């Protein structure tokens, strides 16, 4: 051992020095003898110091060593994209942060703006293994700011949590706690209009805090069935009442319930197809009319890979009081009733080349006229097409055209055209 060899060498040197001292005394005077004794003492002190250091090193070697599995079992994976947008619309829309429908106003004019708020950061946290599965955490943030006054959403974007959840993952099941997407209407479009996303124009479903569980059943031939259910925070509508903020969803005292089933069909055309159905139910309490109003919806979705370079997907849903799902106006407090609506969207994605993709998207939200108050939106049709081109690895340029045709009850109809440019660098 290296430390033992060093100690033996030091002891040998000390022995030689001690042996040399008497021999030297016969041939030197008393002054030389004293010098040799001083040198001998110095060597002895050095050897004692060395032995002390070697002893401490040997003590360290006897300490217990952590087993390989005792190392901190977390892995971090950071990903996301930087997205710079510029867009122009020829008539007023509901807001430049998230264009979703045209406004019914007498004096409408064009607008131009740009934003970086649609950039996104995602952090995956992989924790310890649990049986055959693993503990996992996820955080997703952007910089969204819905306020349009002054320079907000242009210069003063604010960090916002989109998703944050903890999940217990197993090969066949998952339990999730935190904020994530609804089970009701689970798909999203491929529009460059990131926070418009065809909401209130056919697309439904949003994010909310929830406790979610899902289980996948496997069948012969690779077929599968995923069953999921969740208990969700009731978003509702907030208002000020005698100096206190009251929320109609929280005031109901019960959560919103969601459930869905997805059938996985392998090998259909060019890949796995999905056919899903889902539903949701909740209740809001409105103190100003002393009444509770239900919110409910049923819907379905389809994902169909037609060829290796063409995929169709879409959703359709029907329900009442679905404003928390960004599907339609919520309630008519004058009549004291939930507003019924039908909505849906369809998208065809074409990618003939690895670096080139195009999306054709159509959506419609149709609200029941008899349930609506005057001046409310009764129908909103949105359609568009975009092209995304990968110019360099991890860098994409995109351009999109959108058309909004919005109808109002007892008010002027409106339409608007929007052109959107994006530069996206993913990491």
Among 11, 45, 61, which residue terminates a domain?
61
pLDDT in tens, 20-40: 444 433 333 455 556 556 666
Tell whether the torsion through CA atoms of 94, 145, 205 and 289 is positive or negative: negative
The number of beta carbons lying within 10 Å of the beta carbon of residue 375 is 11
Q: What is the pLDDT of residues 178-198, one digit of tens each?
A: 999 999 999 999 999 999 999
Same domain, 42 and 124: no
Q: Same structural domain for residues 33 and 150? A: no
- Check whether residue 37 and residue 79 sit in a common domain: no
- What SS3 state is found at 374? coil
Q: Are residues 55 and 74 in the same domain?
A: no
Q: Are residues 250 and 347 located together in one domain of the fold?
A: yes
Structural domains of the chain, count: 2
Split at pLDDT 50, 70, 90, the class of 269 is confident
Tokens of 261: 């089933």
Q: Are 20 and 144 within one domain?
A: no
Contact status, residue 314 vs residue 346, Cβ threshold 8 Å? yes
Q: Does 319 lie in the same domain as 421?
A: yes
Structure tokens at 298: 């049923």
Average pLDDT, the chain: 86
Q: Which pLDDT does position 175 carry in this prediction? A: 98
Token output for 100: 């979703």
Looking at the structure, tell me whether residues 15 and 114 fall in a common domain.
Answer: no
Q: What is the pLDDT of residue 167?
A: 98
DSSP string, 102-150: B---SS---EEEEE-TT-EEEEEEEEEEETTEEEEEEEEEE------ST
Integer Cα distance of 325 and 234 in angstroms? 11
DSSP summary character for residue 322: -
Domain that holds residue 44: 2-61
Query: Confidence class of residue 52 from pLDDT cuts 50, 70 and 90?
Result: low
Residue linked to tokens 């040399």: 20
Do 250 and 102 fall within a single domain? yes
Query: What are the tens digits of pLDDT across the range 237-256?
Result: 888 777 788 899 999 999 99
- According to the model, what pLDDT value does residue 49 have? 57
Q: Among 24, 43, 61, give the residue marking a domain's end.
A: 61
**Average pLDDT rounded to a whole number, residues 76-96:** 95
Whether residues 206 and 275 share a domain: the answer is yes
- Burial (Cβ within 10 Å: 0-12, 13-18, ≥19) of residue 295: buried
Domain boundary among 10, 28, 61: 61
How distant, in Å, are the alpha carbons of 107, 271, 303, 318 from that of 327? 27, 30, 20, 9
CA distance 38 to 24: 13
| Token pair belonging to 67 | 């087993």
> CATH number of the domain that 281 lies in?
2.40.160.10
Lowest mean pLDDT: which of 69-78, 231-240, 356-365? 69-78
Residues 50 and 79 in one domain: no
Is the same domain home to 141 and 103?
yes
What percentage of the chain exceeds 90 in pLDDT?
72
């Amino acid at each position: 051992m290296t430390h033992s060899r060093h100690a033996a060498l030091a002891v040998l040197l000390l022995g030689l020095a001690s042996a040399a001292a008497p021999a030297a005394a016969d041939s030197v005077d008393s002054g030389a003898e004293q010098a040799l004794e001083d040198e001998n003492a110095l060597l002895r002190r050095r050897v004692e110091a060395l032995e002390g250091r070697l002893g401490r090193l040997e003590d360290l070697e006897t300490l217990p060593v952590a087993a390989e599995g005792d190392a901190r079992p977390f892995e971090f994976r950071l990903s996301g994209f930087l997205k710079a947008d510029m867009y122009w619309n020829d008539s007023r829309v509901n807001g430049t942060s998230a264009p979703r429908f045209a406004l019914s106003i007498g004096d409408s004019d064009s607008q131009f703006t740009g934003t970086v708020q649609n950039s996104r950061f995602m952090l995956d946290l992989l924790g310890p293994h649990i049986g055959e599965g693993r503990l996992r955490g996820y955080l997703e943030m952007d910089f969204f700011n819905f306020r349009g006054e002054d320079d907000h959403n242009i210069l003063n974007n604010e960090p916002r949590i989109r998703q944050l959840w903890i999940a217990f993952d197993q090969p066949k099941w998952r339990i999730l706690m935190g904020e994530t997407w609804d089970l009701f209407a689970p798909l999203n479009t491929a529009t460059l209009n990131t926070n418009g996303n065809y909401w209130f124009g056919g697309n439904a479903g949003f994010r909310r805090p929830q406790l979610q569980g899902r289980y996948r059943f496997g069948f012969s031939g690779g077929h599968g069935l995923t069953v999921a259910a969740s208990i969700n925070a009731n978003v509702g509508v907030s208002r000020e009442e005698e100096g206190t903020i009251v929320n109609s969803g929280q005031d109901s005292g019960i959560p919103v319930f969601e459930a869905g089933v997805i059938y996985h069909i392998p090998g259909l055309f060019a890949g796995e197809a999905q056919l899903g159905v889902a539903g949701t139910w909740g209740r809001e309490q409105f103190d100003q009319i002393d009444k509770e109003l239900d919110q409910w919806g049923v819907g379905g979705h389809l994902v169909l890979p037609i060829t290796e370079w063409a995929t169709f997907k879409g959703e359709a849903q029907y329900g009442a009081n679905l404003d928390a799902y960004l599907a339609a106006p919520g309630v008519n407090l004058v009549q004291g009733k939930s507003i019924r609506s039908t909505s849906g969207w369809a998208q065809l994605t074409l990618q003939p080349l690895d670096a080139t993709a195009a999306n054709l998207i159509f959506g419609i939200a149709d609200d029941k006229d008899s349930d609506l108050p005057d001046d409310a939106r009764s129908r909103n049709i949105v359609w568009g097409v975009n092209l995304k081109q990968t110019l360099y690895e991890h860098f994409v340029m995109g351009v999109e055209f959108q058309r909004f045709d919005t109808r109002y009850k007892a008010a002027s109809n409106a339409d608007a055209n929007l052109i959107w440019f994006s530069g996206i660098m993913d990491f």
